Each structure stands twice: as C-alpha cells, then as structure tokens.
Chain A
Amino acid sequence: MNDIYKPPLWPMLLIGVVSLIWVLPLIGIIMTSIRPEGETLKGWWNIEEFTLTLEAWREVWVNYPLWDALWNSIKIAGLSSLGSILLAPMGAYAFAFLNFPGKKVTFLLLVNAFVIPNQILIIPLFTLWRNVGLIDNIFSVIIPFVALSMAWAVFLVRNYLVDFPRSLIDAAHIDGCGHVRTFWSVVLPNALTPMAAVGILQFMWTWNSLMLPMLFLRENIPLPVLLTKIKGTYEPNWDQVAVATIITSVIPLLIFLYFQKYFAAGASNQSGQKG
C-alpha cells in the first residue's frame, strides 16, 4: 500500500493516544508494585516522590499462599487444556467424516451449548460434588471446564477438518486403517494447528476464571480466587495486591499476546463463521 500513497499521520496519533489510556491502568499497577506502599497512599498518581523497591515482590510470597495458588492455576489450566485438546478432535472427527444416526441432533446440541452461562452449573454441580466428595478437588472445576469447552472446541476443530483433504482419509482406508487408526495416525498428526488453538484458548479461559473455582474449591484455590481474597482483607497492602495481580495476569497475558492469531480463529468460530 505504501507504494502508491502515504498514510496520513492522524490515524497513528489517534490510536496512539487511545492506547496510552488503555495501558495507563497497567502502568499504574506495575508502579504500585515497585514502590513503598506509603508513596502510593499519598496519591496513586504521585510521581514527585518515587523510590524503587522490590520489597512487595519478596513479601507477597511469604504473606500469602501465592506459590500454592500459582501451582493450582497451572494444574487446573494445564489439565483442562489437555482434556480439551485430546477430546475435541475425537468429536470433531466423528462429526466431520462419519455418518451415524443422531449425528445432526447431537451436533446441534453440542455446538450451541456455547451460549450456556456458567451460572447454570453451580447449583447442581455443587450438590453433586458435595455428595461424591469432590469439593476442593481440582477435578470439580476441570470436569465442567472441559465439558463446557466441547461446545466451541469441537466446532473449531471440525471446521478445520471439513477442509482436510478427504483423499488422505481414503488413502488411509486403502492402506488398511479403520476409523480409529485413521484418526490417530493420519488425522491427528495433521490437525496440530486447531489443537493448539483449542489448547491456548482453553488455557486462557480456565486460568482467568473465578466463579467455579471460588465455589467448588476451598484450599486448592487458583490465583484469581486468591486475589479476590487478598483484596478483600480488611486492610489490604496495596503494593502486595499489585504484585499478586501482576502474577495472576502475566502468564495468560504473554500467551495471549504471543498467540493472537489463534484468538481471531476462536472468535470467528464462536460466531459460527469459518475463520
């Protein structure tokens, strides 16, 4: 485009100013985390006085069970992503390539479940988990996380597989594979892109979620739940709250920025359009 016209300056300036407003809260939270709380308390925007200190970054691990929460977050988000990555292609393969009675109705039911709010789950699942003793077990959140993800994940992988070269599957059948072997040896190794997309979206979503872990977990809580507890204490240490906020956000944020293109795929997928 640059060859034939020079873009004007104002779009860059306008977007630049807007983005400054957008990153301001992030700058603020970082600033708060690296100065003594006393300075922040004199005014969030006070820059006349600034002392660099990493005290809060050391203290917060001692004062709050941040390591445990981080580890729980990793376990919950990791296992939930793994579950979705493994299960979604199986469903997607069946819907993309196989004929079976009830295919259409199952598919419609499954993929349209993406509209269901999490609030629907909490009363029945809480009762169920309490009866089977799963409260405070990370699987009490992993199971609904993976189940809910099937709605969009199966759809996303299926849309990819619909464009998968049909002749590869035919070739596998000629080579003597049944459907399970074809799925495992031929389709799966060539569907890594949608599987990665599913994994990344699911990781972000489960890492950032609050409602289900807050209700189903007691001790084994992940970072967002811990963060609400920290900020809810009577007199929060703002510098340490800031550190906890950064720790809660940094991993998904980095993944998110690095894998932006998968989110484009995911977003257009939720809407039913082909990405």
Chain B
Amino acid sequence: MASIALNNLVKEFGETRVLHSIDLDIKDGEFVVFVGPSGCGKSTTLRMVAGLESVSSGEIRIGDREVSGLAPKDRGISMVFQDYALYPHMTVRKNLGFGLKVSGTPAAEITQKVDEAAKMLGLEQLLDRKPKQLSGGQRQRVAMGRAIVRSPEVYLFDEPLSNLDAKLRTQMRSEIKRLHKKVRNTIIYVTHDQIEAMTMADRIVVMRGGHIEQVGTPSELFKSPANVFVATFIGSPPMAMVDGEIVKDGASPMFQAANGPLLPIPARLRDKVKVGQKVFYGIRSDSFSPVGHSLPRAGEVHQMSCTVDHVEPLGAETLISVALGNSTVLSKMFNPTEVDVDETRAFELELDACYLFDKGTEQSLDL
C-alpha cells in the first residue's frame, strides 16, 4: 500500500518541455484518473511513474521512497497497456507468470498466484491459449491479470479500455471499479474519455498542454469547474459558452450576450463582476429547458423566448440547439414532445447552475 507524490515533475524531450512542473499528492488506496486531450502529458506522467520515461527534473515518491532513479521492477508498480502488450509467443498462463518468473519466484508459487488471478478474472478456461486466440475483452482481462499477479502497491492503467467496443467498455469499467474495491490499491488511470473519468475516479486530474488544470472529485469538477477548459471538457454534452460582456441595467449588473439577449447574473456572482468585463456565460443543457419540460428547479429561474435552430431527439429527452446571439446553446427537453425547427418557444434557465468565466484569463469567477 502506498501513497504517491509528484513534486515539481518536469519532462523535456530535447528542447521541448512536455510537462511543466507537476505537483500532485495521491493518497494510499485512492483511484485517481488523469484525463485530458491527446498530447496533454497524462501518459508521459504515467510512464514516468512507471519508470519507462526518465525524469528531467523533480521527484516521484511512492510510499516513502524517491523512485525516479529506480528501474520499473523496483518501484512496486504494475501496468496495464492500451494495446494490452501481451507477449504473442506465450500462453495466457506464461503471460501471467512471466513477471514472477523473471523475479525468480519458485514455480509452485507462480502456479498458485496465476491460478488465483485467473479465478478472480474468470480466465481459468483460457490459460493454455495464446493471445491471438482471445477476443478483445479476454485480452484486456489477461492484461489486468498480469498486473494483479505481481501484487503491486500501485496499479497504472494507460487507456486500457480504448480498444474495446462501447458495450464491453461499460462492462470493464465496472469490473475495474469492483477490482479496486476489492484490492484497495492505489490506482492511476489515464484516459481521454471524460465519462470513464467521471464514472471511475475518486479524484480526477484534468490536464492540458503539460499543465494540471484542476484536481477534484468528479462532482467537484462538474459543479465547480475552475476554468473554461474544465467546464467544457467535463460533462456531456459540453457546457455552452456564450460570448458577451457585463452591463449595468438598473440596479444590478446583467450579462449582455454579443448580438443577443440580456441575461441576469447568478445571485452568487453579482458582487464579483465588473461592468464592462468581457466574460463567457456558461450554460449546461440540463439547466436550460423549454418551459414545462424541465427538471424541478430549486433556485432562481429566468425565462426567455428563443427560436429553435436544430433538434436531436434522443428518446428519453430531446436536445434542442438555440442561438443566443453569436453563440449556440444546447437545451435539454425532458418528457419531450414534438419540436419544430424555427419554432419560437419559451425556455427557462436555472441561474444557480450557470457559470461566468473571465474571457481573458478563462478562469471561473466563482474562485
């Protein structure tokens, strides 16, 4: 069991700096997901923890040891790869036991541990097959088995589900989650899929361009995104950003959408805005619905009438795009009825679930 600490971690390839001074503490037994678009540095960070990439500067601590000079095998980690990386010339049994064999574990112990892992993952019937004879899902399971067999302190997952089809992916997500509940080891899991992050993580680390954008639990990231990037990256469909500025309208400040309507500012933010400030007004589709088709609203609600641009019926709900000035906003219609394009109808906006971001810094005004 081990905690992990990344202190001032930097990675450079030649002249290019791909990781800019990462600081992160991961608690013992925590399931942490690194998420971000490709090239954000999440995989590089993971590979540095694994010992597959050298550290340019800074330190990595696993438990109470500084490990950045150690070989992968001396770090107490195991890793599941995106393409599974099963040895094609070995049977499943040999694949599972290879790490133990290399470390000189007695044959009887290897057999016992391999059998245990195989049982845990339902691989007993497949032990004598070669990877080529397995389906994608089975290979994935073997890859996990290989990680389990070595009973490491830390599991590292590098986009392990991205090669599976949607159905299997959902299934494996819950299996990995269940596995974590059982073994309670520290896990670092890398993915570009925010849904994976939201459903599995104890804590999510959102990365972009070699920086950490925000760290928090899934609901923290959803409810209080620190900036435009996190707000649009987490949640599906993504939060709409309406371009505009703060104007004075009578007593209270208002948001003037560029070429669009005037919107009230959420009560919690009214003291934090300055007149003339250029901002983005963030709206999630769940908090913006046609009147009569919304969720029960707790707080302040703003009604306006908008023209329907585009309609996407999804069955249980319908997504409607409307234009607010220069920007397009998605609205979610619950208990949907027929909606026509170009129809004008009344919509209601739950103000407490809206966000404001400074246009220059892209930071949330909630901070």
Tell me the A residues contacting B by CB distance below 8 Å.
Answer: 165, 167-168, 170-178, 181, 185-186, 189-190
Q: How far apart are A160's CB and chain B's nearest CB, in angstroms?
A: 14
- Does B102 contact A175, Cβ atoms closer than 8 Å? yes
- Does B85 contact A167, Cβ atoms closer than 8 Å? yes
Interface residue from B73, B79, B150 paired with A170 (Cβ < 8 Å)? B79
- Does B85 contact A176, Cβ atoms closer than 8 Å? no
- Does B98 contact A174, Cβ atoms closer than 8 Å? no
- Does B52 contact A170, Cβ atoms closer than 8 Å? yes
Q: How far apart are B271's CB and chain A's nearest CB, in angstroms?
A: 52
User: What is the CA–CA distance of A167 and B81 in the complex, to the nearest angstrom?
Assistant: 7
Which of A165, A167, A175 has its CB near the most chain B CB atoms (within 10 A)?
A: A175
- Does B79 contact A171, Cβ atoms closer than 8 Å? yes
- Does A170 contact B85, Cβ atoms closer than 8 Å? yes
Q: List the A residue with the shortest CB-CB distance to B98.
A: A175
B72 sits at the interface (CB 8 A) = yes
Instruction: Give B70-104 interface residues, CB cut-off 8 Å to A.
Output: 71-73, 77-79, 81-89, 98-99, 102-103
B218 sits at the interface (CB 8 A) = no
By DSSP majority rule, is chain B's interface helix, strand, loop, or mixed? loop
User: What is the CA–CA distance of A186 and B90 in the complex, to the nearest angstrom?
Assistant: 9
Interface residue from B51, B87, B150 paired with A173 (Cβ < 8 Å)? B51
- Does B73 contact A176, Cβ atoms closer than 8 Å? yes
Given contacts A167-B81, A170-B85, A174-B50, 5 further A-B contacts (CB under 8 A): A171-B87, A172-B87, A177-B73, A185-B98, A185-B102
Given A181-B102, A190-B88, are A174 and B72 neighbors across the interface (CB < 8 Å)?
A: yes
CB neighbours (8 Å) of A174 from chain B are: 50, 52, 72-73, 77-79, 99
- Does B85 contact A168, Cβ atoms closer than 8 Å? yes
Tell me the total A-B contact number using a CB cutoff of 8 A.
Answer: 59
Interface residue from A165, A167, A168, A175 paired with B73 (Cβ < 8 Å)? A175
- Does A173 contact B72, Cβ atoms closer than 8 Å? yes
Which 8 A/B pairs are nearest by Cβ-Cβ distance? A176-B73, A175-B99, A167-B85, A171-B85, A189-B89, A176-B102, A167-B81, A173-B72
CB neighbours (8 Å) of A190 from chain B are: 87-89
CB neighbours (8 Å) of B51 from chain A are: 173
User: What is the CA–CA distance of A10 and B102 in the complex, to the nearest angstrom?
Assistant: 63
- Does B52 contact A176, Cβ atoms closer than 8 Å? no
User: What is the CA–CA distance of A167 and B156 in the complex, to the nearest angstrom?
Assistant: 14
Interface residue from B50, B86, B102, B150 paired with A177 (Cβ < 8 Å)? B102
User: What is the CA–CA distance of A185 and B98 in the complex, to the nearest angstrom?
Assistant: 10
Q: How far apart are B73's CB and chain A's nearest CB, in angstroms?
A: 4
User: What is the CA–CA distance of A173 and B81 in the complex, to the nearest angstrom?
Assistant: 13
Given A177-B102, A181-B102, are A170 and B89 neighbors across the interface (CB < 8 Å)?
A: no
CB neighbours (8 Å) of A185 from chain B are: 98, 102
Given A173-B51, A174-B78, A176-B73, are A165 and B102 neighbors across the interface (CB < 8 Å)?
A: no
User: What is the CA–CA distance of A173 and B102 in the complex, to the nearest angstrom?
Assistant: 10
Q: How far apart are A201's CB and chain B's nearest CB, in angstroms?
A: 24
CB neighbours (8 Å) of A170 from chain B are: 47, 50, 52, 79, 81, 85
14 residue pairs bridging A and B, Cβ less than 8 Å apart: A167-B81, A168-B85, A170-B47, A170-B50, A170-B79, A171-B81, A173-B71, A174-B78, A175-B98, A175-B102, A175-B150, A176-B99, A189-B89, A190-B89
CB neighbours (8 Å) of A172 from chain B are: 87
CB neighbours (8 Å) of B84 from chain A are: 167
Q: How far apart are A93's CB and chain B's nearest CB, in angstroms?
A: 16
Which of A168, A171, A181 has its CB near the most chain B CB atoms (within 10 A)?
A: A171
User: What is the CA–CA distance of A189 and B72 in the complex, to the nearest angstrom?
Assistant: 23
Q: How far apart are B131's CB and chain A's nearest CB, in angstroms?
A: 11
Q: How far apart are B24's CB and chain A's nearest CB, in angstroms?
A: 21
